[in-house]
A and B are shown apart, each in its own frame.
Chain A
Amino acid sequence: MRSEKQHDNDCRRYEALATRRIEGDLLAAEDLDFMERHRRNCRDCAMSDVLEDLVRYHDAHDGPLAPLDDLAARRRVNDVVDAAFRDQSQRTSRRERPYKARLWWMSAAAVVGLAALLAGVVLLVNRSGRHGRRVAPHPAVARVLFLSGVVTAMGPDGTVRTIDPTKVLRSGRTLAIAERLDVGDGTVVISLPCAATVLLAAGSVVRFERLGRSQSRLFLESGRLVASVTPEHRPDRVVIDTADGRIAVKGTVFAVSRHRTGTFVSVLRGIVAVSDRHGHHRHVGSGQGMDVGGAHARQLSGADLVGLRQNLQVIGLLSDAPTRLMVRSSPAGASVEIDGVFVGQSPVLLALRSGGHRLSVRLDGYGRVDETIDVPQRGEAVRTIVLARQVRSSLGSGALSNEPNVPIKSGSARGTGVRRRSPTEARSSSKGRVVSPGGANALMILARSRRMARDWRGAAATYRRLLAQYPSSRLVGTARVALGEILLDHLGSPSGALRQFDAYLRGRLGGMLGQEARYGKIRALRSLGQTGAERTAIEQFLLRYPRAVQADFLRKRLAKLETGRGMGLNMGAGQQRAPAGGHRGGRR
């Protein structure tokens, strides 16, 4: 009895071990011995194995599976695709409904349609007879929400007009299909009828090919375009064409830059479908950028992301409501900030969201004026700020004084309400600011546009100018990291790059761009061949950012440095390799 039970247990154990062996597990020597012994003693289990082998190694009815030759494979693939698409079109056309029911529904639909058409015609004839006019449908138009600088528009009939923020006020300027917009030195934000907003940066030239509620299509001839599209489930709501290919989007925030050598797409949120001239399709995800026609997307650098976010902040201030505010200054050219966001240089035309906003106008040598403005649901207003030349007070250290501001013209009765700050408030807010940071913003935008145009030397010079002229600006950190990346990746100056990264890290240990700065420092040290310092920098990086994209690569590099320490390992710049996701600038 006991031996029978033992035998059953052995059979079960044998079966379990056999399954484990099939699974690819390595069995212990004693288990293998046991299997061998049991197989010899138990005919049942041995037969079971043999049968399993018989089933496992038998060929199907028609013999073994032979690979298809190329021609046969291609033919079968074509057959499958044709059948699938034929099937899809049939499904959509008739929904597999029985023929009689379909006929009934079709007749009913035809009768109802005819009746509706007849009623429509009768109504239209009656209305035109009574009132002598037709009601035009509300057109889908693009509206200018923000304007800074003078923009040239070429109409469909070839007429050229200039759009000036001081002359266009009433409910904004609308743009028509086939109109070509040359933004020049200014900036324009346009609301498209398909719930999307587009910012055109300085130097952009764009043509409106289609303006519809379901889809808008723009052709970007040159410059930079930032689009913010509200997510919806309609396919390809906004399509941007360039000479290099097509960028289609459902709902996202992204930028397209067209420069001399090609088009670059950078995505802040969502996914963008990019098709090049050769019909290759690619997807670019959040935080990624790609050359149209390129093979792979790459991670955007911190500076790129900061630039996109700044553009998004400007777009976020605006609304499609019929409210227009013009901000002018005397002298013109002052930096205008709304709620702390630099929007442009005066004069600017804005369609602001209703509610309270902080308006700041600054100009180098003229101090700054801060006001609180209350924007109603509807209305138009002009706000003119007269800036007083900056005079250093003999009593306070660096305190500024402004002459009172005089509003020149007010719009409608329901115009924007403006509350001027008291002289005390104005003084306290501007205390100690001798140089306006608005200028730093302008320089940053200029540097970014040069970088997008791949003018590395120009961009580096602009960043250097920013660092020299505005050493206390909050943009200094971004400028340092961006300058370091340009010096390292494009201008071949790792020592200069190292100085910039070090300067950034000296000021702030865990700043927003700390990871980029530390990684840049490691790359610069590697280029300089300073292995000891590189090792220390890598250790610090891994300690601070153990889950960074570059962490795996850096661990391998550290191991290599550790093993090579005894052998005097010193890799030169030519031997560098960076991780796929972590290399910030090399593939730009």
Chain B
Amino acid sequence: MEFMEQTVPRHPEVLALTEAVSLGDRKAARQLVSRLYDRARATVFYLAGTHRDADDLVQLAMMEVIRSAGSYRGEASVEKWADRIVVRTAMRHIKQRRRRDHVVELDSERTFGAPAEQGDVVARRQLRQRITALLDRLPLRQKVVVTLHWMSGYRVAEIAEMVDAPVNTVRDRLQTAKRRLKKMALGDPMLRQWAERMHDEI
């Protein structure tokens, strides 16, 4: 008789959970999704830009996690394994959405106004819209890296694992994105004005 030697999983309990999910156990699926939901939401929130888009992306990503539950081998933590799926799913859907919708262009005439003259709330909302639009104009790979690193607070090595790219590539994307963002922001009168005001305050 021949037998197959298998490695001992480092997370056998989670492995049991994911196996149950892959076999169609709804209770186990609820348990798994509850464990990963908040983290996934925080990861995709800045990628999506709005709460509604973020919720849609999280839902799609979690469905993908349930579908792929059988591929988890218990070697890494389930959060790290899920992070990769979440980021890839989010990237795929953002790419599709970008193809479908046209890129948001900055309409300086309509939205621009001196921040000091407007109410602070209105000005801040405009600023948010402009920064989101700025990020949307970055190539998707750079946007993912920037949002995960600057806003969600992941380290470069973690991002490299998530997007399945070498660490140096991620670092390079980060630098390029930073330069590009700077160039675009200084070309935008409102952002430039905000930046100068902040600089002077500092």
List A residues at the B interface (Cβ < 8 Å): 15, 19, 22-24, 43, 46-48, 50-56, 58-62, 65, 67-68, 73-74, 76-81, 83-85, 87-88, 197, 228, 230-231, 235, 251-253, 269-271, 273, 279, 281-288, 297, 315-316
20 further A-B pairs in the complex, CB-CB below 8 A; given A77-B33, A282-B13, A287-B8: A19-B171, A23-B155, A50-B202, A51-B195, A54-B191, A55-B134, A55-B151, A58-B128, A61-B50, A65-B42, A67-B38, A68-B41, A74-B34, A79-B59, A87-B63, A87-B67, A228-B1, A231-B3, A281-B28, A283-B12
* Interchain CB contact under 8 A, A76 and B37: yes
Q: Mark B122-141, 1 if CB is under 8 A from A, else 0.
A: 00000111011011000000
* Interchain CB contact under 8 A, B16 and A285: no
Q: Cβ of B182 < 8 Å from any Cβ of A?
A: yes
Contacts of A231 in B (CB 8 A): 2-4
* Interchain CB contact under 8 A, A48 and B182: yes
Contacts of A283 in B (CB 8 A): 9, 12-13, 15-16, 19, 74
A77 to B54, CA, bound (A): 14
Contacts of A297 in B (CB 8 A): 12
* Interchain CB contact under 8 A, B194 and A80: no
Given known contacts A281-B19, A285-B8, is B3 in contact with A85 (CB within 8 Å)? no
Q: Mark B85-105, 1 if CB is under 8 A from A, else 0.
A: 000000000000000000000
A315 to B1, CA, bound (A): 9
- Nearest Cβ distance between residue B11 and chain A, in whole angstroms? 9
* Interchain CB contact under 8 A, B19 and A50: no
A270 to B194, CA, bound (A): 62
A65 to B52, CA, bound (A): 12
Contacts of A284 in B (CB 8 A): 12
Q: Cβ of B178 < 8 Å from any Cβ of A?
A: yes
Q: Mark B141-157, 1 if CB is under 8 A from A, else 0.
A: 00000100111000110
CB closest residue in chain A, given B13:
A282
List B residues at the A interface (Cβ < 8 Å): 1-6, 8-9, 12-13, 15-17, 19-20, 23-30, 33-34, 37-38, 41-42, 45-46, 48-52, 54-55, 58-59, 62-63, 66-67, 74, 127-129, 131-132, 134-135, 146, 149-151, 155-156, 171, 174-175, 178, 181-182, 185-186, 191, 194-196, 198-199, 202
- Nearest Cβ distance between residue B17 and chain A, in whole angstroms? 7
From A15, A56, A228, give the contact of B150 (CB < 8 A). A56
A156 to B195, CA, bound (A): 86
* Interchain CB contact under 8 A, B3 and A270: yes
Chain B binding surface SS class:
helix
- Nearest Cβ distance between residue B192 and chain A, in whole angstroms? 8
* Interchain CB contact under 8 A, A230 and B30: no
CB closest residue in chain A, given B150:
A56
A52 to B195, CA, bound (A): 10
- Nearest Cβ distance between residue B129 and chain A, in whole angstroms? 7
* Interchain CB contact under 8 A, A282 and B16: yes
Contacts of A282 in B (CB 8 A): 12-13, 16
* Interchain CB contact under 8 A, A48 and B178: yes
Contacts of A269 in B (CB 8 A): 3-6
Given known contacts A48-B182, A87-B63, A281-B20, is B33 in contact with A80 (CB within 8 Å)? yes
Contacts of B194 in A (CB 8 A): 54
* Interchain CB contact under 8 A, B45 and A65: yes
- Nearest Cβ distance between residue A312 and chain B, in whole angstroms? 9
* Interchain CB contact under 8 A, A62 and B51: yes
From A55, A60, A316, give the contact of B45 (CB < 8 A). A60
From A68, A81, A235, give the contact of B38 (CB < 8 A). A68
Contacts of A48 in B (CB 8 A): 178, 182
Contacts of A251 in B (CB 8 A): 3-4
A23 to B174, CA, bound (A): 12
* Interchain CB contact under 8 A, A65 and B127: no
- Nearest Cβ distance between residue B96 and chain A, in whole angstroms? 17
A78 to B182, CA, bound (A): 43
A80 to B35, CA, bound (A): 13
A43 to B196, CA, bound (A): 10
Contacts of A53 in B (CB 8 A): 198
- What would be 7 A-B contacts, judged by CB atoms less than 8 Å apart? A47-B182, A65-B45, A74-B34, A84-B62, A230-B3, A252-B3, A281-B20
Given known contacts A15-B175, A46-B199, A60-B50, is B8 in contact with A81 (CB within 8 Å)? no
Given known contacts A19-B171, A85-B24, A286-B8, is B30 in contact with A78 (CB within 8 Å)? yes
Q: Which 8 A-B pairs have the closest CB atoms?
A: A285-B8, A84-B66, A281-B16, A283-B12, A84-B63, A231-B4, A283-B16, A80-B62
